[in-house]
């Protein structure tokens, strides 16, 4: 390669780097490949509610498990947006779950406070495995309604899991959002809080000790009978 050709190549490379650095952090992050993992969608045919189930135990690495063993408080936050299969133009609905884990010395057990659409509940467990089962194995999380999501279409979700987000204020806002008075506790485009959720929580909930993003495959939800079992 001649000296002139080398200079041209270097200038082109430098220009590409400058363009990438000028991009917002979110745009640079989107350029990275987001992994795909299994997510189960289920329609409650009678109540006309959509539920999702998934797992993300890998977000709790050995270091975080060690912190749990030492009794350090831990918060795990899942936020997700539901899309029509093949389209990312506009989410159909959104959902979230927070899991706050604290060790209680006198009881010698973990107090696990789970907040999700429909309310908040407290569970107790004496092991880290019990914490993972309650916080990282998400079962039948309310994700939308028939008014938000058309029936008989493939769906996929874009999700983010954060461990110990650094903004207590945003966590409090997220908790209030999930528990706000509404028919389902989820947010749809017609909801005044929908843009707040997708813009603030899903995209910019803030830095965290550990973060995991993933998408699901586009699948047609399974239709199930209403369950009377409280999970």
Model pLDDT for residues 120-134, shown as the tens digit of each residue: 999 999 999 999 999
Asked if residue 79 has pLDDT above 60, the reply is yes
C-alpha pair distances (Å), 128 with each of 17, 64, 114, 119, 132: 44, 10, 15, 24, 6
Give the pLDDT of residue 152. Answer: 87
Nearest alpha-carbon partner for 96 in 167, 218, 179, 1: 179
Q: Quick one: pLDDT band at residue 161, thresholds 50, 70, 90?
A: very high
**17-56 residue pLDDT tens:** 334 344 444 444 444 688 899 999 999 988 889 999 999 9
Rg (CA), the chain: 21
Q: Quick one: pLDDT band at residue 168, thresholds 50, 70, 90?
A: low
Give the pLDDT of residue 33. Answer: 83
Burial 196-212 (b: 16+ CB within 10 A, else e): ebbebbbeebeebeeeb
Full DSSP string of the chain: --HHHHHHHHHHHHHHHHHHHHS-HHHHHHHSPPPB---EEEEETTTTEEEEEEE-GGGS-HHHHHHHHTT--EEEEEEEEEEETT--SS-SEEEEEEEEEEEETTTTEEEEEEEETTEEEEEEESSHHHHHHHHTEEEEEEEEETTTS-SSS-EEEEEEEEEEES-HHHHHHHHHHHHSSSSSS-B-TTSTTHHHIIIIIIHH---EEEEEEEEPPPBPPEEEPPP-S--
Dist. CA 125–CA 230, nearest whole Å: 18
Dist. CA 101–CA 54, nearest whole Å: 20
Q: At what angle do helices 128-135 and 62-69 cross, to 10 degrees?
A: 120
Dist. CA 195–CA 106, nearest whole Å: 43
Give the pLDDT of residue 181. Answer: 54
Dist. CA 98–CA 77, nearest whole Å: 4
Q: Quick one: pLDDT band at residue 180, thresholds 50, 70, 90?
A: low
Dist. CA 116–CA 29, nearest whole Å: 27
Give the pLDDT of residue 208. Answer: 72
Nearest alpha-carbon partner for 145 in 198, 115, 182: 182
Give the pLDDT of residue 61. Answer: 87
Q: Is-contact 43 224, C-beta < 8 A? A: yes
Q: Pick the more confident residue, 195 or 137.
A: 137
Q: Which of 25-34, 113-122, 128-137, 195-204 has the lowest mean pLDDT?
A: 195-204
């Amino acid at each position: 390669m001649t000296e002139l050709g080398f200079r041209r190549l270097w200038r082109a490379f430098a220009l590409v780097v400058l363009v990438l650095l000028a991009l917002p952090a979110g745009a640079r992050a989107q350029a990275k490949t987001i992994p795909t993992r299994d997510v189960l969608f289920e329609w409650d045919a009678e109540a006309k509610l959509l539920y999702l189930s998934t797992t993300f135990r890998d977000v709790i690495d050995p270091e975080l498990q060690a912190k749990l063993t030492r009794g350090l408080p831990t918060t795990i936050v899942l936020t997700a947006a539901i899309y029509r299969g093949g389209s990312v133009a506009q989410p159909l609905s959104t959902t979230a779950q927070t899991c706050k884990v604290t060790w209680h010395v006198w009881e010698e057990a973990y107090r696990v406070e789970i907040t999700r659409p429909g309310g908040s509940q407290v569970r107790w467990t004496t092991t880290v495995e019990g914490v993972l089962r309650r916080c990282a194995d998400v079962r039948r999380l309310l994700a939308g309604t028939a008014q938000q999501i058309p029936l008989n279409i493939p769906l996929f979700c874009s999700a983010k899991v954060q461990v110990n987000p650094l903004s207590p204020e945003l966590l409090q806002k997220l908790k209030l959002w999930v528990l706000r008075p509404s028919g389902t506790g989820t947010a749809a485009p017609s909801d005044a809080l929908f843009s707040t959720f997708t813009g603030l929580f899903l995209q910019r909930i803030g830095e965290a000790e550990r973060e995991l993003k993933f998408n699901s495959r586009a699948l047609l939800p399974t239709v199930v009978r209403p369950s009377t079992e409280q999970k």
